[in-house]
Chains A and B, each alone.
Chain A
Amino acid sequence: MVNQVREFCNLLKLRGLMVTPNSLNGALEALSWVDTLDLDQFKTALLANLVQHPLDMDCFEAAFTDYFLSQNNMQLEKEDQFFKANLKDFIDQVKKSEENFDAVIIGVLEGKSRGVMQLLIEAEESFLTHDAEDHKKGKGGQKKKNTFKKQLKMMIDLAEDFSARSFHMPQQKREKLAEIIRQQLEEAMALLDNKPQGRDKLLPWEKENTISTINFAQLREADISKVKEEVNILARKLKNKLAQKQKRSAKGKIDIKAMVRQSAAYGGVPFKLRWKQHKKTKGKIIAICDVSSSVSYAAQFMILLLYLLQSRFSKIRSFVFIRQAYEITSFFESWPLEQAMLKAIDSHKIRMGQPSNYGSSFNSFLKDYGSAVTPDTTLIIMGDGQNNFNAPQIEGFKTLSERAAKTYWLNPEEEKFWYSASNVSKEYKPFCDQMIECATLEQLGEFTEKLVF
């Protein structure tokens, strides 16, 4: 049992979960208290000790199923002796085959997937070490994995041939046999392809593909919810950092009134000093975002992040534009992200897909909402500056930036493209306090941190 649990922990580590020796000891102790023959209790004892974050639960579930449960074994249990005899025939045939199949692969057919798991753990462990000798072995391990995969593919073909030729079995049984063998082999193949799935544990060369660093423009539909989750985590971290900073710098001016009031409890002796609380909020934020397709996601995430941090500001107002600016504040205050955007677009009848025009948009903003920009306002523009050869009409933007306390421009386009003919970023840049490249969540986080502190 101890070895199995240790091996299972290794598998979890391979899949990116942080399993400390302390957790392993905890798991072993927990198993001594529960009925290990009761699957639920057994699983919960491991789960309670080895998983430290709800987001790692799926990874644990998958590893638990792979390691301790084999669907196929259960399926096999249900089949009759005749069926099992045929499977044995196939295994004998494979053993005699000229291909010289590895014993571990044959073990898979017999329902012993743990052999593959062990092989995988050994190969990955040596692959991950920095020792030259081990590294060599690691490469050998990788090579072995590839050979195994090749053999597994060959065996799937063989199984199909075998079941097709087993005329002594009813067709339904033949199909079932082929299906079970295929499933078992494919499961082993999936194990060999296994990748770390834990939240934090990404290998260095995989880091470039994390949600935080992936370019907003390259996000797939499936990534959106993950980015939303990351934006939430980012907002939480920023809030924590802010709270800590405020606490550290809490000693501002002495609050005489509060101190005198409190001293009454101690016969007028001022036992405790009271300090005036720092003013928590900063000024007003006005976010104006280009929502033409290329910038849409970046804009949405920025607005979401701002709203998650809204307690930090006295007021947030958000606007979108393509050719004209529209206020969308009320939508973001009462609807989740995607719906807010859809409702705003629908309500204002914004025609998506049109080419953006920064000049006319800033002018329309100045005309309709210009009075909202006051000396305590921080103006944030989110846009790639692709003006589609329209005139930049600098004056409107200049007036806005002069009225605001600070003007920041977040540009999802790489800096080298700001100076191309169709891009007007270079025209607006002199009127901004800062124009920042902001194409990933990481960059957005860096900017927001600067903004809230």
Chain B
Amino acid sequence: MESKVDHANEVVEHLASQGYVASQDIATTVFLGMKMQKPILVEGPAGVGKTELAKALSKALEVDLIHLQCYEGLDESKAIYEWEYAKQLLYTQMLKEKIHELVSDSSNLKDSIEELSKQEDAFFSKHFLLPRPLLKSITLGRPNILLIDEIDKSDPEFEAYLLEVLSSFEITIPELGKIEATSIPLVFLTSNNSRDLSDALKRRCLHLYVDFPSNDLEAQIVASRFPDLDTELIASMVDAISNIRTLDIKKKPSIAETLDWAKALISLQIGDINHESLTKTLGVICKYQSDIEQVHNQMEEVLKDS
């Protein structure tokens, strides 16, 4: 991607302009991804801002964001390209007479087929090609960000399709040949580690592990999203969340939950984190009943810094 950024610190500023508070390692890796034209594999727990990173960057750089959501069973027809059968059929129907004219001079079936096969290219041309996100991204003709979200949810075979795109930014379509990128996108792949990705894919990427943020960074994130929220309240919230993360619970709250909690506190006009307010809003932070019970039972521990 043609980059408007010349220094890692500029990435921090760009992201900050969209309310995304990035740590130095996030900014440096994104900067390297732009300069080295390598995809960035972003791993980390759910809700720490992996997808948001790509979204915020696309807004900040004012480039298109092409989003490919992965799922089990995703194949090349949904991710790369597909022939528009219906359109081809429609054209065949519309051009029936023309086809008749073409084969009218042929004396037998064999000659007719040969005559028709000379016209095959017309039906397997870019005109009937339906580009899906990967093809769309490399043929867009202008800088863009390609977000391949939750790559770990796709089947291992799908990774093989990706290898060609990610290493040389070209796609081979048997009927048309090789299609090269007109602009190289900045690619983000996100993963929650629900399965191991292949070494071949990992080797082609820069790695960025986004973990739960430090208390300071998390406080900055909350403050940037909710500038009117009292700083002391933010500090208490962040301390409590960080203490909850130390408990052995099924789903640890991530930044997304902290932000939801902040929203809930504002809506309920709660200005203080205590036993009562935490109990009232625990459903926003914990996603399992067993986790809620556990936090409830260890309230003293959770609120020790608040």
Contacts and interface: CB of A to CB of B under 8 A. Distances in A.
Interface in A50-90: 51-54, 57
Nearest to A334: B290
Interface in A328-349: 334-336, 338-339
B32 A239 contact: no
B8 interface: yes
B289 interface: yes
B85 to A, nearest CB: 5
Nearest to A338: B248
A244 interface: yes
Contact of A41 (B24, B196, B250): B24
B203 interface: yes
A117 B156 CA distance: 39
A334 B289 contact: yes
Interface of A: 18, 20, 22-23, 26, 29-30, 33-35, 40-41, 43-45, 47-49, 51-54, 57, 233, 236-237, 239-240, 243-244, 247, 265-267, 269, 271, 334-336, 338-339
B298 interface: no
B93 interface: yes
Contacts of A233: 196
A44 B199 contact: no
20 contacts: A22-B203, A30-B32, A34-B31, A44-B24, A47-B207, A48-B40, A49-B207, A52-B199, A54-B193, A237-B195, A239-B195, A240-B155, A244-B155, A247-B155, A266-B85, A271-B85, A271-B89, A336-B248, A339-B248, A339-B290
Given A34-B8, A236-B196, A266-B85, A45 B157 contact: no
A41 B28 contact: yes
B165 interface: no
The 6 closest A-B pairs by CB, nearest first: A44-B28, A48-B206, A40-B24, A44-B25, A52-B202, A236-B195
Given A51-B209, A266-B85, 5 more contacts: A53-B202, A236-B194, A247-B155, A334-B288, A335-B290
Interface in B133-181: 155-157
Contact of B29 (A35, A44, A334): A44
B36 interface: yes
A51 B207 contact: yes
Given A239-B195, A266-B89, A267-B89, A336 B29 contact: no
Nearest to B32: A30
B93 A267 contact: yes
Contacts of A53: 202
Contacts of B43: 54
B132 interface: no
Interface in B203-253: 203, 206-209, 248-250
B196 A52 contact: no
A7 to B, nearest CB: 21
A51 B202 CA distance: 9
B207 A48 contact: yes
Given A236-B196, A266-B85, A334-B289, A45 B28 contact: yes
A265 B86 contact: yes
B75 to A, nearest CB: 10
B36 A30 contact: yes
Interface in B34-85: 35-36, 38, 40, 43-44, 72, 85
B209 A34 contact: no
A47 B86 contact: no
A20 B203 CA distance: 8
A26 B38 contact: yes
A57 B29 contact: no
Nearest to A331: B290
Given A26-B38, A243-B72, A41 B93 contact: no
A247 B75 CA distance: 12
B222 to A, nearest CB: 23
Contacts of A267: 89, 93
Contacts of A26: 36, 38, 206
Contact of A54 (B38, B199, B209): B209
B203 A33 contact: no
A335 B288 CA distance: 9
A47 B25 contact: yes
Nearest to A30: B32
B207 A266 contact: no
A336 B25 contact: no
Interface string B273-306: 0000000000000001110001000000000000
Given A54-B209, A334-B290, A237 B196 contact: yes
A287 B57 CA distance: 50
Nearest to A43: B25
A197 to B, nearest CB: 17
A266 B28 contact: no
Contacts of A334: 288-290
Given A26-B38, A236-B195, A48 B208 contact: yes
Contact of A45 (B7, B32, B294): B32
A51 B86 CA distance: 47
From A33, A34, A51, A271, residue with most partner B Cβ within 10 Å: A33
B155 A243 contact: yes
B36 A29 contact: yes
Given A22-B203, A26-B36, A44-B24, A240 B156 contact: yes
Contacts of B36: 26, 29-30, 33
A33 B31 contact: yes
Contacts of B7: 35
A338 B289 CA distance: 17
Contacts of B194: 236
Contacts of B288: 334
Contacts of A237: 195-196
B196 A244 contact: no
Contacts of B207: 47-49, 51-52
Given A233-B196, A335-B290, A336-B248, A48 B85 contact: no
Nearest to A33: B35
A40 B93 CA distance: 64
B86 A240 contact: no
Nearest to A22: B203
B93 A33 contact: no
Nearest to A241: B156
A240 B157 CA distance: 10
Contacts of A18: 199
A34 B28 contact: yes
A242 B31 CA distance: 39
Contacts of B156: 240, 244
A30 B36 CA distance: 7
Contacts of B203: 20, 22-23, 52
Given A34-B8, A40-B28, A47-B25, A240 B38 contact: no
A29 B199 CA distance: 21
